[in-house]
Amino acid sequence: MNIDNLIEGILNGDNRSIARAISLVENSDPVSRERIIKGIYSVGNAKVIGITGPPGVGKSTIIGNIAPMLSDYGKVSILAVDPASPFSGGSIMGNRIRMQKSLSRKGIFMRSTSNRLYNGGLSEYSWDIVKILEASGSDFIILETVGSGQSDIDIMNIADITCVILAPGLGDEIQALKSGIMEIGDVFVVNKIDREGSYIAIKDIRETLNLSNKIKTPVIGINSIDIENYDKFLDYIVSWNKKNYREKYVRKLRQIVLEEIYNKYAYYIDNMDYTEDTLKRDPYTTAEIIIDSMNKIIDKSTYK
Ligand SMILES: Nc1nc2c(ncn2[C@@H]2O[C@H](COP(=O)(O)OP(=O)(O)OP(=O)(O)O)[C@@H](O)[C@H]2O)c(=O)[nH]1
Ligand SMILES: [Mg+2]
């Protein structure tokens, strides 16, 4: 398929074009990726909602419930980032196919992407995928990631609102407190309040937030089987304002530029003329010489 047609398809909200474009981006085809993003880019209006938390707390179930509710307010798309683990893949796929069918009847686009290539977090090209979904007319883009070190930081760089999902028991709360997940949540959701221990979990989280002066961060208990207390959670998401536009732009710019520099200079370094003299010199000094010459190229007055 021709890229111009693909761009037109995305802008018209055609699901096949969107899916095709996402595949191109995921398969790290840099030329197509660049052309697609340049062709569709505008500062969109989608609100990006990150749903993160330990495995099995109910993230997918929550998304399956909240996505149709959000579609009363605008067009919804979902991007689920698969855990790299090959185990339990079968049952996850089964659930996902069922969910996908019921959501697509409501006009909700859903897509899974793999984080296999990227260290535990969001796929390296999640930003690009989000832009494609945004350009296709999405008002809400929901991202599901399994909370783990790197992805916590990544999700902050892409999402406008980060919802940390926890559940009673299983020691999830304690683990979360340790893993720094508390830092990234704009809202905390304790799912499975039908289970024992949920009020203790909510209390523990509130106390920890108080300790780190995040007193105003809401902690909402919900039950996703009987859809209890979703109105508060939904209200919160709908009324939340976009934020960090500059930071997100800078992060993406940094990724693009550093990738380019890396590719270019890795080749250059591998293929330099190495004389006997160079090889006798310590590599720190040689690196300084190379970096010095790079610094001459990076002159602030030449870009804006
Ligand atoms: N009792 C109870 N069970 C729930 C609730 N929400 C989800 N579950 C169950 O918890 C299990 C895990 O739910 P998922 O939605 O797959 O959890 P997840 O966080 O997406 O899991 P991963 O994507 O594998 O990390 C499923 O069996 C759900 O039916 C709830 O509110 N109460
Ligand atoms: Mg899930």
Query: Within a 13 Å sphere around the CA of 173, how many CA atoms are in the beta-carbon half?
Result: 22
Q: Are residues 234 and 293 in the same domain?
A: no
Alpha carbon distance 230, 252 (integer Å): 33
Q: Are residues 277 and 129 in the same domain?
A: no
- Domain CATH code at residue 173: 3.40.50.300
Do 185 and 220 contact (CB within 8 A), yes or no? no
Alpha carbon distance 192, 56 (integer Å): 11
Residue finishing a domain among 191, 223, 240: 240
Q: Are residues 188 and 257 in the same domain?
A: no
Residue finishing a domain among 240, 268, 287: 240
What is the count of structural domains for the chain?
3
pLDDT: which is higher, 88 or 68: 68
Atom of ligand 1 nearest to the CA of 56: 21
Q: Are residues 28 and 60 in the same domain?
A: no
Whole-number average pLDDT of the chain: 83
Query: Within a 13 Å sphere around the CA of 223, how many CA atoms are in the beta-carbon half?
Result: 10
pLDDT: which is higher, 215 or 59: 59
Alpha carbon distance 75, 252 (integer Å): 25
Each residue's pLDDT tens digit, 2-24:
999 999 999 999 999 999 999 89
Q: Are residues 155 and 72 in the same domain?
A: yes
Residue 36 has pLDDT above 90, yes or no: yes
pLDDT of residue 304: 57
Q: Reduced to 3 states, what is the DSSP secondary structure of residue 278?
A: helix
Each residue's pLDDT tens digit, 47-63:
999 998 888 889 989 99
| pTM across the whole model | 0.85
Atom of ligand 1 nearest to the CA of 195: 1
Query: Out of 43-47, 65-69, 71-75, which region has the weakest mean confidence (pLDDT)?
Result: 43-47
pLDDT of residue 82: 64
Could you say which ligand is closest to the alpha carbon of residue 227?
1
Nearest to 131 by CA among 30, 36, 271: 36
State the DSSP H helix or E strand holding residue 289, giving kind and residue range, or none if neither.
Answer: helix 283-297
Q: Can you give the residue range of the structural domain that contains 263? A: 248-302
pLDDT of residue 101: 77
Q: Are residues 19 and 84 in the same domain?
A: no
Q: Are residues 119 and 258 in the same domain?
A: no
Indicate the top mutation candidate among 61, 115, 181 to test ligand 1's pocket, ranked by most ligand atoms within 8 A of CB: 61
Residues with CB under 5 A from ligand 2 (ion): 59-60
